[in-house]
Structure 1
Amino acid sequence: MSHQYPGPQQPYRGGPAPYMPPPPPKKSMSGLAIAGIVIGGIFAFIVVIGFIGAAAGGGKDSNTDGKGSADKVSSAPEAAPAEKPAAKPAEKKEAPAAPVKVAAKKTVFAPGVLHDGGAYTSVRVTIMNNSDKKISVNPLYFTITDTDGTKHTAELAVDENQIDTVDLAPGENISGAVTGKGSFTAKYVTYVDGLLGEGVRGNVS
C-alpha cells in the first residue's frame, strides 16, 4: 500500500494564512564605516568653504588698497619719449697753416749779368712765413728736382729775376726766380732754412 505525502498546504478560504519565515535581521554598521563617513563629511565641508573663500577673493580688484578702494588707473596713453635732437655734424676745423709755405710755377729764363750762354731752367718761387719767428731766404737755400728725379742746385746771378737774400718776419712773403743749370722739366722746389733742418716742398704748377 503506497503512502501519499501531503503537498504544500494550500490556503483555503476562510482559513489562516500559511506560515512565512521572518526576514533576516539587519546588520549594524561597523565603527570604521561610521568614522569614514564623518571624516569624508568634514573634508567635503572644508573644500566647500575653500571654494566660497576663493570666489569671494576673486571678486575684488587686485588694485585695491586695504580699505577696499580701487587705485585709479589713468586711461590716458603714455606720452611718447621725446626724440633726442639730431647731433650736429662736427664742424670741420681748418688745418693750421704750415709755418713756411712754398709755391712754385714755371717761368721763362731771363739771362742775367753772369749768364755764360749755357742752358738754364728757372722756376718762379713764392715763399711765405706763417711761423711766429723770422726766417732767412737765400737762393742757395733752394733746390729744384726734375721729373726724372734729378736734383739741381741753384745757380747765382744767372737769371736777372733771381729771388733776393732777405729775412722774412712772421706774415711776410717774397717771390723770385730760382735757376738750375741745364734744360729740364722742373717737378718741385725744396726750401731749407739755413741749409740745415727739414725741407719744405712746393710742387711746380
Structure 2
Amino acid sequence: MSQQFPPTGQPQPGHGYPPPPQPKKSSVGKIIGFGCLGIVGLFVLLAIAGALIGGGKEDKTAKDPAVPSAAASSAPAKAPESKPAEPEKKAAVAVVAKPAEFKKTVLAQGDGYTSVSVTVTNNSSKPINVNPLYFAITDTNGTKHNAELGVDKDQIGTVELAPGENVTGAITGKGSWTAKSVTYTDGLIGDSVRADVS
C-alpha cells in the first residue's frame, strides 16, 4: 500500500496555513441603490428650487377675483345684471401697514432705522405663521429692505395665528427712507400678500 503525498509546494489545508480567501462579491445592488437615491435627490432639489423661484414672484392681487385683469379692463363695460348682492369674499390673509415711530432697543446700532406698524389677520380656515423674517419693506424708490431683528421694542412676534386671529407689531429696516409697501410671505416660500403703507 502506497501512501499518497500532496504535490510539493502545496500544503494541505488545516496544517498551519489559513484557507484561501473567498473571492469578493461585487456590490452591484449597492451601486444601483445609491444611483437611484442620487436621482431621487436630484428631483427633490429641482422641485425645491422651482418652488423657491416660482413662489417668490407670486403676487396675491393676480389671484384675487375682485381685481380685474388687463384683458377684462380693456373690454367694453356691460350693464350691471340684476343679481342678489353677494357678500364680498375676504382674502385668506389680510395685511394692513402704517408708518410707525422707531423705538430703539439695546441691539440697535444708532438711530438709522425705519419702522412700519403691521397688522396681520388670518381669514383662512387654517393656521398661519407670522415671523419678522417673513416681511420685506419696499421704499418709495423701489428698494426692498429686509427686516432687522430685535432693534425695535414693538417688533412683531413670532406666532401661529389660528383662523380669525390677528397680530400687530413693527417691522424695521436699516436706514432712513420712506416706506411705500410691506410684503408678507406665509412661510419663506408661501403666498405673498402686499399692503401699501398708509
Q: Same fold (TM over 0.5)?
A: yes
Residue 183 of structure 1 is aligned with which of 172, 176, 181?
176
Shift of 1:197: 2.0
> Based on CA coordinates, which of the two structures has the bigger radius of gyration?
1
Question: What are the within-5 Å matches in structure 2 for residues 84-99 of structure 1?
Answer: 89-99=82-92
Residue 137 of structure 2 is aligned with which of 140, 144, 150?
144
Shift of 1:200: 0.4
Shift of 1:137: 0.5
1:122 partner letter: S
Query: Residues 147-194 of structure 1, C-alpha deviation per residue, up to 9 Å, x if partnerless?
Result: 110000000000010000000000000000000000111011000011
* Aligned residue number for residue 171 of structure 1: 164
Cα separation, 2, equivalents of 1:199 and 1:103: 14
Query: Residues 60-104 of structure 1, C-alpha deviation per residue, up to 9 Å, x if partnerless?
Result: xxxxxxxxxxxxxxxxxxxxxxxxxxxx93233233100000000
Shift of 1:118: 4.2
Cα separation, 1, equivalents of 2:175 and 2:88: 38
1:107 partner letter: A
Cα separation, 2, equivalents of 1:92 and 1:125: 32
Contact kept in structure 1, 2:104 and 2:111, CA below 8 Å: no
Q: Which runs of 5+ in 2 are unaligned?
A: 1-80
* Aligned residue number for residue 19 of structure 2: none
- The size of the alignment, in residue pairs, is 118
Question: What are the within-5 Å matches in structure 2 for residues 58-97 of structure 1?
Answer: 89-97=82-90
Task: State, as a whole percentage, how many aligned pairs show the same letter.
Answer: 59
- Which secondary structure state, in structure 2, belongs to the residue aligned with residue 183 of structure 1? coil
- Which secondary structure state, in structure 2, belongs to the residue aligned with residue 194 of structure 1? coil
* Aligned residue number for residue 162 of structure 1: 155
Query: Residues 12-33 of structure 1, C-alpha deviation per residue, up to 9 Å, x if partnerless?
Result: xxxxxxxxxxxxxxxxxxxxxx
Match status 1:123 vs 2:132: no
Match status 1:192 vs 2:165: no
Cα separation, 1, equivalents of 2:111 and 2:98: 22
* Higher helix content, 1 or 2: 2
Cα separation, 1, equivalents of 2:127 and 2:191: 16
* Aligned residue number for residue 74 of structure 1: none
* Aligned residue number for residue 126 of structure 2: 133
Q: Which runs of 5+ in 1 are unaligned?
A: 1-87
Query: Residues 25-46 of structure 1, C-alpha deviation per residue, up to 9 Å, x if partnerless?
Result: xxxxxxxxxxxxxxxxxxxxxx
Cα separation, 2, equivalents of 1:103 and 1:93: 24
* Aligned residue number for residue 112 of structure 1: 105
Cα separation, 1, equivalents of 2:146 and 2:153: 17
- Which secondary structure state, in structure 2, belongs to the residue aligned with residue 140 of structure 1? helix
- Which secondary structure state, in structure 2, belongs to the residue aligned with residue 105 of structure 1? strand
Structure 1 segments, 4+ long, off by >3 Å, are: none
